Amino acid sequence: MAETKKLSLISMSGDFDKAIAVFTLASGAAAVGYEVNIFFTFWGLNSIKKSTGRSFIGTGFLARFFNFLLGGRKNLPLSRLNFGGLSPILMNGMMKGRNVATLEELFEASKALGVRFYACEMAMHVLGLTKADFIPEVKDVLGVASFLELSKGGQTLFI
Amino acid sequence: MSTHHLDITKERCPMTFVKAKLHLEQLEPGDTTEILLLAGEPLDNVPRSATEQGYQVLESIHLRDNIHKLIIKKP
């Protein structure tokens, strides 16, 4: 059977460093000709919110409060040594200083290369979010069965 | 038909591949481009993935130290 150049990533973490891993793999794979799918679930959804900072989005008091605390792509915490949000700022500075792509550049590159973004229907329901709360590049809202179908025949990674 | 240029010697993974791919996508059929890149990961993979995506790698020239130049054509 011919090898399928397809990479499907499950992005569950809302950590800055894991989001870097997701968008590095996604943009790098897309650049060398892979079809790339990312399935964002739970805290991973923070990366694709329209609102990149903290805002009260979602339906219901608890969901709105929770989404405010979680925030968006520009206030993801480091998984270790976050120091109240100072470390991601320092890390971004170090990355720029050493000519390594920042999270925002990797995210933009992934979009430019046609990486397909999908949001998890169940996690959206828990967090009171709708497709309108996400960037327009989010192709569809999926469940497990649909994600397995579209990732079939390629490699899948959970981050 | 025109000749384009791209220098990715200052880039790091994955932007080496990202910039090369976005640059190649802008070529018109018959255009050629000269890409400056470093030995190692970029030199091992940029020409390979360009070939896989249907471009022709016409030449790979060692310029100096670890800097190389690829000449790639969009058929």
- Look at residue A97 and tell me if it is in a domain: yes
The yes-or-no verdict on residue A156 having pLDDT over 70 is yes
Amino acid at B44: D
Interface test with A, best of B17, B37, B49 (most A CBs within 10 A): B17
Contact A33 B14 (CB under 8 A): no
The yes-or-no verdict on residue A150 having pLDDT over 60 is yes
pLDDT digits over A87-117, tens only?
999 999 999 999 899 999 999 999 999 999 9
Q: What is the mean pLDDT of residues A20-47?
A: 97
Contact B21 A100 (CB under 8 A): no
Contact B14 A113 (CB under 8 A): no
Sheet holding A116-120, edge to edge: A138-142, A116-120, A35-40, A6-11, A155-158
Burial B30-67 (b: 16+ CB within 10 A, else e): eebbbbbbbeeebbebbbebbeeeebeeeeeeeeeeee
pLDDT at A2: 55
Q: What is the mean pLDDT of residues A5-24?
A: 97
Chain A residue nearest residue B9, CA to CA: A99
Cα–Cα distance between A68 and A61 in angstroms, integer?
11
Number of domains chain A is built from? 1
The yes-or-no verdict on residue A5 having pLDDT over 80 is yes
- Look at residue A95 and tell me if it is in a domain: yes
Q: What are the percentages of helix, strand and coil residues in chain B, rounded to 5?
A: 30, 35, 30
- Look at residue A7 and tell me if it is in a domain: no
pLDDT at A102: 95
pLDDT at B58: 97
- Look at residue A96 and tell me if it is in a domain: yes
pLDDT digits over B31-42, tens only?
999 999 999 999
The yes-or-no verdict on residue A1 having pLDDT over 70 is no
Mean pLDDT of chain A: 93
Contact A28 B45 (CB under 8 A): no
**ipTM of the shown complex:** 0.89
- Residue A5: phi and psi, rounded to 5, are -85, 85
Percent of chain A with pLDDT over 90: 75
Interface test with B, best of A32, A36, A106, A110 (most B CBs within 10 A): A32
- Look at residue A53 and tell me if it is in a domain: no
Contact B17 A106 (CB under 8 A): no
- Look at residue A52 and tell me if it is in a domain: no
Sheet holding B56-64, edge to edge: B3-7, B32-38, B67-73, B56-64
The CATH number covering residue A152 comes to 3.40.1260.10
* Domain that residue A86 falls in: 16-44+74-158
- Look at residue A146 and tell me if it is in a domain: yes
Q: What is the pTM of this model?
A: 0.92
